[in-house]
Amino acid sequence: MILMLGVNNVFKKICSRCVNLSYSSTKNDRWQCPYCLKDLQFERAFHIDHKINYVAISQRLEQLRGIGVYKSQMR
């Protein structure tokens, strides 16, 4: 599992030409699609909060671990 602690500002853009996703730590700098090289500077940027994702993922992992323990005790 990759922990992205300390990386709170990550932005995602969807290329309007090739529909691939690209990621950046800032939405104001020049932004070029890494796949088709289209200039994405004025495309809409979506903010990604890794902190929230990390908590949600770790809660889900705890649930799965609990289910595993429960199942092993039922045998």
Within 25-64, the residues that bind Zn ion by CB under 5 A are 33, 35-36, 38
Q: Label each residue of the chain as H, E or C.
A: CCCCCCCCCEEEEECCCCCCEEEECCCCCCCECCCCCCECCCCCCEEECHHHHHHHHHHHHHHHHHHHHHHHHHC
CB 23 → Zn ion: shortest distance, Å? 13
Contacting range for Zn ion; rule: CB under 5 A; set: 10-18, 23-31, 46-54, 59-67: 10-18
The answer to whether residue 15 forms part of the interface with Zn ion (CB under 5 A) is yes
List of residues contacting Zn ion (CB under 5 A): 15, 17-18, 33, 35-36, 38
